[in-house]
């Protein structure tokens, strides 16, 4: 029987690797849709299990599997993601800094210029009086009592 689906499509089921046949038999969707294919795979596996030595030789793995999460491609993707996050953070911080500078500049422009003290005035009482004259009196203000 020829393999009708997958990466081994068109090849004889008896020529497929044991690992693939075991995987094929374990899939519910394939068992539901292609029962004849599963029966053929089971027949081939039963035949292969008769000779334990050849089955062991086929299934034995001498080298560790690759660490897919530590590939150079994955590391490059992670670095690119981190660089993009850092760039976005720097842009956001620069925009916030610019907004703060504009707010400070606007506040400075709306403030009244400082009142110059006449010659000979050395205490802060002059500035307090000037401030009171510029704004309406607050009935709860006790600063003059201090």
Q: Is 66 helix (H, G, I), strand (E, B) or coil?
A: coil
- At 134 the pLDDT is 73
- At 64 the pLDDT is 79
Q: Which residue has the higher pLDDT, 78 or 70?
A: 78
Position 142 pLDDT exceeds 70: no
Read off the pLDDT of each residue in 67-90 and give the average, rounded to a whole number.
88
pTM across the whole model: 0.41
Domain residue limits, the chain = 13-59, 76-108
| Interaxial angle between packed helices 52-59 and 35-50, expressed in degrees from 0 to 180 and rounded to the nearest 10 | 110
Position 44 pLDDT exceeds 80: yes
Which of 92, 69, 6, 66 has the alpha carbon at shortest distance from 41? 6
- At 61 the pLDDT is 79
pLDDT tens digits, 5-15: 889 999 999 99
Question: Do 4 and 33 contact (CB within 8 A), yes or no?
Answer: no
**Given pLDDT bands bounded at 50, 70 and 90, which one contains residue 96?**
very high
- At 11 the pLDDT is 92
Read off the pLDDT of each residue in 122-127 and give the average, rounded to a whole number.
71
- At 146 the pLDDT is 58
């Amino acid at each position: 029987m020829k393999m009708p689906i997958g990466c081994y499509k068109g090849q004889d089921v008896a020529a497929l690797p044991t690992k693939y046949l075991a995987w094929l038999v374990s899939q519910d969707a394939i068992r539901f849709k292609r029962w004849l294919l599963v029966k053929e795979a089971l027949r081939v596996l039963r035949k292969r299990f008769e000779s334990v030595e050849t089955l062991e030789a086929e299934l034995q793995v001498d080298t560790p599997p690759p660490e897919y999460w530590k590939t150079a491609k994955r590391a490059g993707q992670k670095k690119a993601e981190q660089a993009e996050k850092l760039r976005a953070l720097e842009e956001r911080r620069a925009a916030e800094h610019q907004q703060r500078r504009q707010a400070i500049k606007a506040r400075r422009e709306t403030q009244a210029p400082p009142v110059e003290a006449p010659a000979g005035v050395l205490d802060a009482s002059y500035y307090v009086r000037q401030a009171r004259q510029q704004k309406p009196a607050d009935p709860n203000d006790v600063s003059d009592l201090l």
